[in-house]
Each structure stands twice: as C-alpha cells, then as structure tokens.
Amino acid sequence: NNAFVVGSKSFTAVAINCAAKAGEWIMTKLGNYASLEIKYSEHDLVTEVDKGSERLIRKLIGTHFPHHSFLGEEGCEPGPEASAKALEEAQDSEYLWIVDPIDGTTNFVHGFPFFCVSIALAYRGEVIVGVVYDPIKDELFIAEKGKGAYVHGKRMQVAEDASLKESLIATGLPAEREYALPLNLKGISELAPQVRNLRVAGSAALHLAYVASGRLSGFWEIGLNSWDMAAGVLLIQESGGVVTDTSGAPYTLGVRDVVASNGLLHKELVEALKKAEAAE
Ligand code: IPD
Ligand code: CA
Ligand code: CA
Ligand code: CA
C-alpha cells in the first residue's frame, strides 16, 4: 500500500517520464523556435515550445490519470490575479498536477543554457511529488514527500553555510514590474553587501533545485506562481532545507513571495528582507 502508486502506476515514474520527454523535445527546438509572443508585459514571453511542452505533459498525465486535475502556466490567463484565481479553483481537487512547461523562457529564447521543466503533484493541497529536469545538463531532480530527494540517483543535502556572509544566494527579476520588481530590487540592495555573492540566473525552479542540492545557500523572489515553486519546494524540504514566505510563515501553494534556504541562515535572510521591504 503505497501512497505514490495507483494500481501499477507510480506517480513519480509518470512525472519523470513527462519531464524527460518534454525536455528532450524542448532541446530539439533550442535556437529554432518559430513564434514569440508577449504575454502580460514585454518582460513576459511565450513561444510555441512552452505551449507544446505543456500539451505533451498534459496529454501524457491524462492518459495515465484521467481523473486528476491539471494546472499549467500556459493554460492560464496571464497576470497575477488570473493565476491566483486558477490555483484557488484547482486546489479543491484531490490530485492536482502543477506544471511549468519551461521555467526560464527568456533564457530559452536567448539560448542562455539555464531552464527546466517543473512538474509537481499535490494531494489535497500538499505537494507529494516534485520533479525538476534540466535538459541542458541532463540533470533530473526528484523528491517524494517523506522519502528524500535525489539528483542523478544521489541523495541531496542542503549546503552547510551557517551565515549570510558565507552564503551564495539567488533571486530573480520578476516579469511583474510594478510591485514585484521594485520590492525584489530593495532586497538585492540590502543583501548584496551582506552575502558572499548573489546570482540571478533566470529560472526560479532551477534555483530552488540548486538550493536543495547545496549549490546555492538560499533563494528568494517576490511575485512567483505555484508552478514556479511547487516541485522545487519539495526538493528543498526533502533535502533538509526550509521554505517560507517573506514574513517567515510556512510555504503553502498560495505563496507568491518566497524565501528558501538551507535552514541555518533562514532567519537572517528573512530579517534582511523584512528590513529591505520597510526601507524607503
Ligand atoms: C520565470 C522564471 C524567472 C523568474 C520569473 C518567472 P517563466 O518563469 O522563473 O526566473 O524571475 O518570475 O516568471 O516565465 O520563465 O516560466
Ligand atoms: Ca512565463
Ligand atoms: Ca516559471
Ligand atoms: Ca514557464
């Protein structure tokens, strides 16, 4: 009797299969996508490859688990209100797949090799499986609730840096430029002098996977969506790290402003961001 298996079908195996298939297809389109559209603002892009990746994943999940619900970025109306509403509606479902078909679309468009496919499965609002796949490095990050998290089959463990001054922290420059970007910039100017260094590489899901694997000490960003985070958060929790919102409250699927770390420097990171938010 295994919570991760229905009949003979393992949720995790299907998630891995979807991520691998989508990733493989995305790589055939790198440098030769056909259409570029602007979504919410000129900082928010979508290509036919994002849409095709989501279609492929949705179809594959649907054939295995026809009664499960599905929330994918490209199936939602653009904009923060629309995506919050879509999550609220979907959250009532027993099993909900939460999918970002390409996290790091801007990188994909420019050929900057840092993007991934992110697939999570939530059971009654709690994430139980998380898979993040980086097709450039062929790296597969996998977590199952209560069972640990793995990369290349090797158990992951968060970094041991105990203070901000020894830490490598990542963040993002959100597409939403009125609220999220200015607030994130305040965080950057507060933290840059305090940490060993900052990184802004353009994929929230991959940054979270890097916190899980100890390559980054922490990550924060304002104004993210459930599909950017759901899989990566479980990777971190199952690798011994901590994820909260910017006030320090525990992560839930509705969180937009996220702080993730190895745990040891979490309090320091949250306090620095609070101070940044309060600054003029
Ligand atoms: C974006 C990336 C980026 C982050 C943005 C996200 P997308 O996702 O994760 O790093 O800064 O806030 O929207 O649009 O490439 O899937
Ligand atoms: Ca997007
Ligand atoms: Ca994303
Ligand atoms: Ca995306």
Q: What kind of fold does domain 5-155 have according to CATH? A: Fructose-1,6-Bisphosphatase; Chain A, domain 1 (3.30.540)
CATH class of 164-278: alpha beta
Would you list the domain boundaries of the chain? Answer: 5-155, 164-278
Annotated binding-site residue? 134: no
Q: Is 203 in the pocket of ligand 1 (CB under 6 A)?
A: yes
What integer pLDDT is reported at residue 30 of this predicted model?
Answer: 98
The pTM of this model reads 0.96
**pLDDT tens by residue, 49-77:** 999 999 999 999 999 999 999 999 999 98
The CB density around residue 69, as the number of other CB atoms within 10 Å, is 17
CA distance 160 to 260: 14
What integer pLDDT is reported at residue 4 of this predicted model?
Answer: 67
What integer pLDDT is reported at residue 6 of this predicted model?
Answer: 62
CA distance 215 to 211: 6
Distance 6 CA to ligand 1 centre (A): 32
Q: Is the ipTM of this complex over 0.95?
A: yes
| Mean pLDDT, all residues of the chain | 95
Give the containing element (helix H, strand E) for 155: strand 154-155
CA distance 221 to 225: 10
Distance 138 CA to ligand 4 centre (A): 18
